[in-house]
Amino acid sequence: MKDRVFSGPDVPTALAEAAAALGQPETELRYVVLDAGSVGGRGLQPTPARVAVLLEDQPPAGADRPEPWSPPPDARAGIRGTVRAVAEAAGIDVSAEIAEGEERVVVHLRGPDHAFFFGREGRGDVLRATEHLLQRSYGAEFLPRPLRVECEGFQERRDRALAEEARDLARAVLADGQARTTEPLNAYERRVVHVALNHEPGVTTYSVGEGAARRVTVAPAEEKPPLVAEAGEDPPST
């Protein structure tokens, strides 16, 4: 397997460039977002988005085109090889260690450059993209156990960042009395926000939305949460 890196103003454009260069539909590309890019502003220069597309070695000229890619017989070797390809494309020193338990299979990303997977703002975008790629490629080999990807220190760093963002929202709400809502968060992340503000005077929190779009609203303490939020799995804080 080899890889190629493509760039563009944003991820969709980079993927379009990759599809055009490789002669493949975007839906058939196996890729990892190395950098989501940024639009710049406030004195900062914009940065391009970068994606690494993982490919099989191409046959010599005149040879028959190979069959579509399929995971190698040993999924564990495939996982290590895929992580190695991502690391080479990003120019980092990271490897994969696989721990198999009765309830799940965990791929631990280790090495001096492991923080690369935290992403630009520590949200774990690259980590989640890598997990998605490995799940799609090899997850079926381990069923019914789920395949997860973890990176040392990420969860602690993400928890601290979420708690600080929650406190920033609370300060803004207290300043002008206007409710604020977070970005979409999973159940664990929503709980981190609720707990961070559970004893914050003057504000309350409750969850709104459904499924992957569910968020946390930080509102003045006297504001009554909507009934749909009260019926959710996240109790409002007081």
Report pLDDT for 111: 94
The pLDDT value given to residue 227: 59
Question: In which region does residue 237 sit, left (phi positive, over 0), alpha (psi from -120 to 50) or beta (all else)?
Answer: beta
Q: Is 193 left (phi over 0), alpha (psi -120 to 50) or beta?
A: alpha
Gap between the Cα atoms of 86 and 91, Å rounded? 8
Q: Closest by alpha carbon to 236, among 197, 188, 209? A: 197
The DSSP annotation for 187-235 comes to: HHHHHHHHHHTTT-TTEEEEEES-GGG-EEEEEETTSPPPHHHHTSSSP
Would you state the pLDDT for residue 40?
Answer: 56
Domains of the chain and CATH, by start: 2-147 (no CATH), 156-230 (3.30.1370.50)
CA contacts within 13 A on the Cβ side of 21: 13
- CA dist 82 and 220 (Å) reads 48
pLDDT in tens, the chain (238 residues): 457 888 888 888 888 888 878 878 888 888 888 877 776 554 556 678 888 887 765 444 455 554 544 545 589 999 999 999 889 888 999 999 999 999 999 999 999 999 888 877 677 888 888 888 898 889 989 989 999 999 988 888 888 889 999 999 999 999 999 999 998 888 888 999 999 999 999 999 999 998 878 999 999 998 777 754 543 445 545 4
C-beta of residue 218 within 8 angstroms of C-beta of residue 197: yes
- Distant-in-sequence, close-in-space partners of 226: CB < 8 Å, separation ≥ 6: 206, 208
pLDDT of residue 191: 92
Considering Cα of 9, then 13, then 15, then 18, what sign does the dihedral take?
Answer: negative
Q: How far is CA 181 from CA 169, 174, 205, 228, in A?
A: 8, 14, 9, 15
**Please, are residues 129 and 33 in contact by the beta-carbon 8 Å criterion?**
yes
Element (H, E) at 108: strand 105-110
Query: Please, where are the H alpha helices in 62-153?
Result: 75-90, 125-138
